[in-house]
Amino acid sequence: MRRLESRRLTSVALVTAALFTASAGNALAQKKYDTGATDTEIKIGNVEAYSGPASAYGVIGKTQDAYFKMINDQGGVNGRKINFISYDDGYSPPKTVEQTRKLIESDEVLLVFNSLGTPTQTGVQKYQNTKKVPQLFVATGASKWNDPKNFPWTMGFQPSYRVEARIFAKYILKNKPDAKVAIFYANDDFGKDYVAGIKDVFGDKAKTLLVAEESYETSEPTIDSHILKVRETGANVFLNIATPKFAAQAIKKMNEIGWKPMHLMTDVSISIGAVMKPAGLDASEGVLSAGYLKDASDKQWANDEGMKKFMTFVDKYMPGANISDTNVVYGYTAAQTMIEVLKKSGDTLTRDNIMKQAASLNAFVADTLIPGITITTGPNDFAPIEQLQMMRFKNGQWEMFGEIISGADYNG
């Protein structure tokens, strides 16, 4: 009897243990979703300037759409397909508000990813933070996106304009001791961030170094008159803080009038296809900038493993794309980083976890980043990329020089 009773107790214990294990397994395997995510789909929203004064950036959204199609063809992310919904706002803040509300309230996306523009995204920052919908990897380098305390649902992507401006200012001080600097900038947060960064480094010297602070409006058809005005100041250093259309106009006009100061240009306008070629390759010779992305048209990356992956993607999903357009490389880089965040999020596809994973990237290396530059974030660090390398436009391509520079080296 005792042996039989013992067997019964053992059987009960085994069944109980099996039930407990199954219950624990189910708890561990439990999936958790917010609006925009299911067992089969992840809805990602985006607002892009496919038209208007910043339409040169439209290829970013097209590249990301193609990248997500490639991911879907490979089985998606953890078995879920990406549903990428991208709308045009024409780089107009009121339209941005309208399209963003549509994505969140009508399309019910899980998050809004890499939407473009400082003035446009400023218009929806408070709205998205109130709604607690990730405004993730914003496609602008404004320093305001790195403010996790006040805006925990907003995160930038590329190096901040202010950091790049500080690097430019250090370069000017070191290489042009007789500098008379003219800053030409967009009259919005994008342009003003650069002006602030320059003054961070110039300090009291700004009063003597800066001979002109000339701004333009994105609604202007041409900026030729501004260039003529700035030349008259006697400036021998020209800081071209303009979006692609106007950056190209500036290069072209400067060449026409034979004005050849030291010319530093924001990295948002370094596209060979969208800026340098329209301005004229000869006219663009010698322009300086700073970058963090490989140039797909540069032969030095021909045998680079990351660039091989990029070219395979372009050949299959964007045949005929202009690989000399840096915006294509940028779109790929941002999309690849987004997929990394989704992979890390696993089956907990909540908006809170998406932000948690985005804020815990540890030296992630995207295929298209310049060697030595990585993507790193933290709970108090919403600036994914903070490194740059100086470069010069020479013989139809960008030539890197000097060391990789960290933005942390220029914080005071």
Residues 152 and 52 reside in one and the same domain: yes
Rounded Cα gap, residues 276 and 325, in angstroms: 10
177 lies in which domain range?
162-291+391-410
Rounded Cα gap, residues 396 and 295, in angstroms: 12
Residues 14 and 72 reside in one and the same domain: no
Residue 65 lies in a domain: yes
User: How much is the pLDDT for 27?
Assistant: 44
User: How much is the pLDDT for 22?
Assistant: 45
Residue 36 lies in a domain: no
Residues 251 and 398 reside in one and the same domain: yes
Rounded Cα gap, residues 208 and 255, in angstroms: 27
User: How much is the pLDDT for 26?
Assistant: 45
User: How much is the pLDDT for 11?
Assistant: 52
Rounded Cα gap, residues 57 and 311, in angstroms: 20
Residues 275 and 403 reside in one and the same domain: yes
User: How much is the pLDDT for 273?
Assistant: 86
pLDDT in tens, 48-83: 999 998 998 999 999 999 999 999 999 999 999 999
Based on the structure, what is the number of domains in the chain? 3
pLDDT in tens, 324-353: 888 999 999 999 999 999 999 999 999 999
CB 271 within 8 A of CB 248: no
First to last CA, the chain: 84
Residues 47 and 192 reside in one and the same domain: no
Residues 204 and 102 reside in one and the same domain: no
The three-state DSSP-derived secondary structure of the chain is: CHHHHHHHHHHHHHHHHHHHHHHHHHHHHCCEECCCECCCEEEEEEEECCCCCCHHHHHHHHHHHHHHHHHHHCCCECCEEEEEEEEECCCCHHHHHHHHHHHHHHCCCCEEECCECHHHHHHHHHHHHHHCCCEEEEECCCHHHCCCCCCCCEEECCCCHHHHHHHHHHHHHHHCCCCCEEEEEECCHHHHHHHHHHHHHHHHHHHHHEEEEEEECCCCCCCHHHHHHHHCCCCCEEEEECCHHHHHHHHHHHHHCCCCCEEEECHHHCCHHHHHHHHCHHHHCCCEEEECECCCCCHHHCCCHHHHHHHHHHHHHCCCCCCCCHHHHHHHHHHHHHHHHHHHHCCEECHHHHHHHHCCCCCECCCCECCCCCECCECCECCCCCEEEEEEEECCEEEECCCCEEHHHHCC
Residues 265 and 284 reside in one and the same domain: yes
Q: How many alpha carbons lie under 13 Å from residue 373 in its C-beta half-sphere? A: 25
Residues 342 and 357 reside in one and the same domain: yes
Residues 267 and 406 reside in one and the same domain: yes
Q: What is the CA radius of gyration of the chain?
A: 25
Residue 386 lies in a domain: no
User: How much is the pLDDT for 111?
Assistant: 98
Query: ∠ CA 100-105-111 to the nearest 5 degrees?
Result: 60
User: How much is the pLDDT for 408?
Assistant: 56
- Tokens 């250093």 locate to 237
Residues 52 and 145 reside in one and the same domain: yes
Q: Name the nearest CA neighbour of 351 among 101, 200, 128.
A: 128
Residues 271 and 401 reside in one and the same domain: yes
Rounded Cα gap, residues 189 and 110, in angstroms: 28
Residue 235 lies in a domain: yes
Residue 171 lies in a domain: yes
User: How much is the pLDDT for 412?
Assistant: 42
Residues 395 and 273 reside in one and the same domain: yes
User: How much is the pLDDT for 266?
Assistant: 95
CB 307 within 8 A of CB 328: no
Positions in the chain short of pLDDT 70: 1-29, 407-412
Residue 32 carries which side chain, given as an amino acid letter?
K
